[in-house]
A and B are shown apart, each in its own frame.
Chain A
Amino acid sequence: MKCCDSTHCDFTQESIAGGVSRRDFMKVCSAAAVYMGLSESFGPTIAEAATTAARRPPVIWLSGQECTGCTESLLRASHPSIGTLLLDLISLDYSETLNTGAGHQAEEFRAKSIEENTGKFILVCEGSIPVKDGGIYCKVAGRTALEILKETAPKAAAVISFGSCAAWGGVPSADPNPTGATPVYKILEGTGIPVVNIPGCPPNPYNFLSTVLYYVTFKKLPELDDKLRPKFAYGRLIHENCERRPHFDAGRFAEKFGDEGHRKGYCLYKLGCKGPETYNNCSTLRFNDVGTWPVNTGHPCFGCSEEGVGFKAPLHSPAEVLYVTPPAEFVSAPPEKGKGASALAAAVGGAAVGAAAVAVGSNLGKKDQDNKEN
């Protein structure tokens, strides 16, 4: 069975390497297209690009000051297994967490891959880079993370800083930043090396996957915001799409953990929720393939992905509300004309209005973004 009309696409079997069914794989590619703000019809294009062996990009995964939570987040995505999928989509040539070889074997393989793939590989950085005292607070094979990054990055096609630590410093950079933990983009400032930040603690694996698939498909990086984050994932505030937003707009708040409002699922703003100043798509994309995220478990967002908020702003103090008004102006239902509109016609009309509201919402999101940039 052919998956698309392209003559180059030999992606015709029921399953691909790694045991991921074709159906699941197509679903992921279509979903990734939607995450990236593209039409779902880009799914086959992405699938084709991702499964053409000659285009499989080598990836070197460097670990700085990290807890490996980012790697875990990626490997434990399970519907389908993104870990399996990614290992078949990309050629992961070096990762301290996943390498079979250790010590000098691992290091030699890394050097060989960098040599062979200069200008072609994607460098993924997990963890911040300590610069205090000559960078001695993180060493691999006797060399500092700073030294290794500076040597490796100029040979990469692009750098992806995965997680808050690599993207803006994260936990290690919390006051008083004992080790001089520095984000990757700052180390590489002025070198012209393209850097994409995918912050979060942990970041959502689908944002990473979508960025890689975008690169594989279009041979360029997705559009980034002023903090080098892909706009498709970080273009809107958590507050804008939060399931508890109607409670915020209606003034219904949990005042204390365990009080009546908290038990009823009211807005967590007064408990210190940082959703109104944190740009991320947690409230729509969610985590762990079971639709969970901090706010729906009853804990306020603490802004883990936002520089200056996560690990910085006091946990239970109220956030700065960047946009007070609701994100979308809902289109009013058109008045019925004539008599006897059938229940079916009313339902169809309602669906059209709903779709229009979503479309308007997404346009407003862009406008907000533009305003922010200006």
Chain B
Amino acid sequence: MAKRITIDPVTRIEGHLRIDCEVDGGKVTNAWSSGQMWRGFENILLGRDAREAWLFTQRFCGV
């Protein structure tokens, strides 16, 4: 029977990352990573003046 390991939060990175993995007999057999935060930049940018796009997109990540 595979053992499920979850690491959440993953620290020392920017953003809220979660890692799930299945370990069977000491070997990782399956793994998932998922961002745990969403701000909806795509929706915020819709219909805006194109000259303003950089103002928002450069704030995806501040690192």
Contacts and interface: CB of A to CB of B under 8 A. Distances in A.
Interface of A: 63-73, 96-103, 106-107, 137-142, 171-172, 174-176, 178-179, 181, 201-202, 302, 311, 314-316
Given A65-B37, A315-B55, A176 B9 contact: no
A138 B37 contact: yes
A106 B6 CA distance: 13
Interface string B27-63: 0000000001111100110000101100110011111
Contacts of A96: 9, 11, 16
Interface of B: 6-16, 18, 36-40, 43-44, 49, 51-52, 55-56, 59-63
Given A67-B59, A311-B55, A315-B51, A97 B14 contact: yes
Contact of A140 (B36, B40, B55, B60): B36
A370 to B, nearest CB: 34
B13 to A, nearest CB: 8
A140 B8 contact: yes
A98 B11 CA distance: 7
A111 to B, nearest CB: 14
Given A67-B60, A102-B9, A179-B40, 12 more contacts: A67-B61, A67-B62, A67-B63, A69-B59, A72-B62, A100-B11, A103-B6, A138-B38, A140-B36, A171-B59, A174-B44, A315-B51
Majority SS at the chain A contact face: loop
Contact of A63 (B16, B38, B39, B52): B16
B46 to A, nearest CB: 8
Contacts of A174: 44, 56
Contacts of B13: 97
Contact of A178 (B11, B44, B62): B44
A311 B59 CA distance: 11
Contacts of B37: 64-65, 137-139
Contacts, number: 103
A311 B56 contact: yes
A106 B40 contact: no
A189 to B, nearest CB: 23
A102 B10 contact: yes
A175 B12 CA distance: 31
A176 B36 CA distance: 21
A140 B9 CA distance: 6
B10 A176 contact: no
B43 A97 contact: no
A103 B9 contact: yes
Nearest to B19: A103
Contacts of B49: 314-316
A372 B9 CA distance: 44
Contacts of B11: 96-102, 106
Contact of B39 (A69, A70, A100, A171): A171
Given A67-B60, A72-B63, A139 B16 contact: yes
Contacts of B43: 176, 178
Given A72-B63, A315-B55, A139 B6 contact: no
Nearest to B14: A68
A171 B14 contact: no
A68 B15 contact: yes
12 contacts: A64-B37, A65-B39, A67-B63, A69-B61, A100-B11, A102-B12, A103-B7, A137-B40, A138-B16, A141-B8, A171-B56, A178-B44
Contacts of B40: 137, 172, 178-179
Contacts of A98: 11-12
A103 B10 contact: yes
B39 A315 contact: no
